[in-house]
A = this chain, B = another copy of it.
Amino acid sequence: MNASSSPVTLPADTRARILDLGENLLLERGFNAFSYQHIARELGMKPAAIHYHYPSKDDLGTAIVARQLRRLRKWRDLPRVADLPPVAQLEALFAVYDNHAKHECRVCLFGALAADFRTLSAAMQSELRTFNGELTAWLAQVLAVGRATGALRFVGSPSAKAVQLLTTLAGALQVARVHDETPYHTIVGQLRLELVV
C-alpha cells in the first residue's frame, strides 16, 4: 500500500543488473576472483537468487561475453559509426578504450579473460574467440580503406596491423591498471602518431 511495499528494482531488471555487476567484477577483478556472493551482496540478495537467473557461473560468464559480442555488432553497424570516414572510425574505437581507462582503469573484455583463458569453459572460450575475431576483422577493413584513401599510413597487411593495434590497446589498459593512466595515453598517442597521416 505504501511506497516501501514496492520493490527496489523492477523484477525484470534483476537479470540485467546481475549481468552488469558480473561484467564490472569481471573487468575489475578477473573471472576467477569474483563470486556470486559479491553480486548478491551488491544487490541485497542471497547468492542462490543469482543461481536462479544464471544457474552456473559459466552461464553468467558466457552471457557477459555474448552481450559484449552483440554490443560490438550493434556498435559497428550503427550509422554514426559505419558511415564515418576511417580516421573517425579509428577515433571512435580509441574512445571506447579511453572510456575503459577513465572508468577506474577497467581492462577490456579480452584483457580480462586472456590470462585465465585455460580455466574458462569451452563456451566462454569460443565466444571470446568470436568476439576478438570479429573486432579484428572490422578494424582490418577500416585500416584497409583508410590506407587506400590516404588517410592512414602503415606498412604490412591491414589484418596484421589490426591484430597488432587491438593487442596494443588491450595491453595498454592493463598497463594503466598496473601503473596509472599515463602510460595508456602515451601508448595511444604513439599509435595516433604512427597511424594518422
Residues in A lying within 8 Å of B, measured CB to CB: 28-30, 32-33, 107, 110-119, 125, 128-129, 132-133, 154-156, 159-161, 163-164, 167-168, 170-172, 174-175, 177-179, 183, 186-187, 189-191, 193-194
Contact = CB atoms under 8 A, between A and B. Distances in A.
A117 to B, nearest CB: 5
25 contacts: A29-B116, A29-B118, A30-B115, A33-B116, A107-B115, A110-B178, A113-B115, A113-B178, A114-B178, A115-B115, A125-B178, A133-B179, A154-B194, A155-B190, A155-B193, A155-B194, A156-B193, A163-B175, A163-B190, A164-B168, A164-B190, A164-B191, A167-B172, A170-B171, A170-B174
Most buried by B among A129, A155, A159, A171: A171
Contact of A160 (B118, B155, B177, B189): B189
A187 B140 CA distance: 14
- Considering the complex of A and B, which 6 residue pairs feature the smallest CB-CB distances, nearest first? A171-B171, A114-B174, A167-B171, A32-B32, A30-B116, A33-B119
